A and B are shown apart, each in its own frame.
Chain A
Amino acid sequence: MATGVATDSNRLAYTGGVLAPAAQARTARRWGWLLYAEYRLTSMRAYLQTIVIRSIGLPLLYLASMGLGLGALVDSGAGGVDGVSYLVFVAPGLLVSSIVMEATGEFTYPVMSGFKWQKHFFAAAASPVRPGQIAVGEVVAVGLRFLIETVVFWLALLLFGAVTAATSWLVILIAPLAALAFGAPLLAFAATQTDEGAQFAFIQRFVVMPMFLFAGTFFPLGAMPWYLQWIGWISPMWHGTQLARVVCFGMPNPVWLSVLHLVVLLVTAVAGTWFAVRIFTRRLTR
């Protein structure tokens, strides 16, 4: 057997070099959410490649096909949308919707894994970090991932000349907010699920795809019959896209409506996180 035995001069249990337990607890009480977020970002390194390829590849693909291909058709037929070229119209929608759709990946199966497969939520809960801080840390870490991806996407839009207003950089905050307005409630929902079934595939097919197709990404909501327009109003994606259009090319929008978009996104993201905190706490102290 290999000799890995600690000698008396090299005691293992208490070296005396560690931060006092009371200080550990104080740090965790205040910063536990950030400590968990740090872990979550580290664990993303395992699929960093996928994240990078998606965040660079997606915008290029979308811009090429929708902006240039479909755009040429729309611009020659209708002379653009809302007074701008189709590329400029569709770019903020593509940005917001792709980031929102990333939330589906991060807030479904990884959440089930945390509770059921790898059980890393239980591992964290056995440390001084509290269950609610784990939920908040999830939101913060994934939100930060969205922020970085949005920056990359936005730079690509700049490069393509697809954003025209000086305020377009604000989209860096709007897109992650929209993604969390959809993602945080999804996190709360996923945390209630104990068995893997068709529920996540159902969300992908019957919530995310309709939202992508009907919530104003490719054409203004007003172009649809009135009885389909509610899909937009209940979609974080639409509220985010509309706000993004205001800042990216100065789409005419009443101020109260812009404020409403922002309030809807903030309230949904915060309420979702609040529910997630409650559900995590209940499940990790059962």
Chain B
Amino acid sequence: MSVIQARSLVKSYGDLNAVDGIDFDVAAGESFGLLGPNGAGKSTTMRMIGGTSLRTSGTLSVLGMDPETHGPEVRANLGVIPQQDNLDTELRVRDNLITYGRYFGLPRSYLQRRADDLLEFAQLTDKAGEKVDNLSGGMKRRLTIARGLINEPRILLLDEPTTGLDPQARHILWDRLFRLKEEGVTLVVTTHFMDEAEQLCDRLVVMDRGRIVAEGSPAQLIRQYCTREVLEVRFGSERNAAVVQQLGDVAERLEVLPDRILLYTDDGEAALERVTSLGLQPLTSLVRRSSLEDVFLRLTGRSLID
């Protein structure tokens, strides 16, 4: 059963189609990703789901309701984690949760208990009385997620949940989100990090310039659009372009980036041997498994992070 259903969804700003006719379904309990670079239309799609951005055309149904006409009813079921934290920096950590919960008409007696549970979940119990300004970036992010859970939402919308966080903070956050997924919360995640998409998403759509260019599980997408392995070689920025012609037959497909050449092949080590047997000596070489980054490169000819 799908909890979100979009058909021919369009959002235009003047001449620009930020979202340009997309279709997707999100199933209950699923962890669904919108992967794409900045400006692909991911955040706009998220805001349309919450009814905080009005669509230009198409249909959208969230739990069987139109978020434009049933905004309060839809949003009572949502937890929204915006791209930028919009916590109240003048209130204490715990008060941020309680005051936000009042927007849902929830009684204070419930909110006080709930706030304590959520602070524990977000590993912020000992920060309950701190001012928000004194929290680290990762702590603020966890507090924003805790705030989004105040109404026990069925669907959590996470817009770039870990952008700007250091690796350790990201892993703590992924762990918390995974925990929610295990409890059956439907997660909708936008990201431009392929490792995040691989970590969190059961299924995802790849977006580019307002359109969906591919859809599937991370493993499916890699199988469909990529070889099993990638050989990365660097010859120095001057020589990269010059050696490309010689590499033509070494791999199934080549991508030339400014600083390196990617050779797509099912056996990276064998490809590297063929490269050296041609008499070419790369400055560095690396064999790795294909990732969603490669899928994106294949689909759009561009990197995810400019």
Contacts and interface: CB of A to CB of B under 8 A. Distances in A.
B102 A18 contact: no
A145 interface: no
Given A6-B179, A22-B76, A39 B102 contact: yes
Contact of A24 (B76, B154, B180): B76
Given A4-B122, A122-B86, A43 B91 contact: yes
Given A4-B125, A128-B71, A23 B105 contact: yes
B86 A123 contact: yes
Interface in A163-184: none
Interface of B: 50-54, 70-73, 75-78, 80, 82, 84, 86-91, 95, 99-100, 102-107, 110, 113-114, 117-118, 120-123, 125, 149, 151-152, 154, 172, 179-180, 183-185
Contacts of B154: 21
B152 A13 contact: yes
Contact of B90 (A2, A32, A43): A43
Interface in A16-64: 17-19, 21-29, 31-32, 35-36, 38-39, 42-43, 46
Given A12-B183, A24-B104, A126 B75 contact: yes
Given A119-B86, A285-B52, A21 B71 contact: no
A5 interface: yes
Nearest to B172: A1
B103 A130 contact: no
Counting chain A CB atoms within 10 Å of each CB, the highest count among B51, B76, B82, B90 belongs to B76
Contacts of B104: 19, 24, 27-28, 127-128
Given A12-B179, A24-B151, A126-B82, A286 B72 contact: no
A125 B152 contact: no
A35 B151 CA distance: 15
A10 B106 CA distance: 20
B88 A43 contact: yes
A104 to B, nearest CB: 20
26 contacts: A6-B183, A10-B117, A12-B121, A12-B149, A13-B152, A13-B183, A14-B184, A17-B110, A18-B110, A19-B106, A21-B73, A21-B151, A25-B70, A25-B73, A32-B72, A39-B99, A46-B90, A119-B86, A120-B88, A124-B103, A126-B50, A126-B52, A126-B75, A127-B75, A127-B100, A285-B52
B234 to A, nearest CB: 37
A22 to B, nearest CB: 7
Contact of B52 (A6, A14, A28, A125): A125
A118 B91 contact: no
B91 A12 contact: no
Contacts of B80: 126
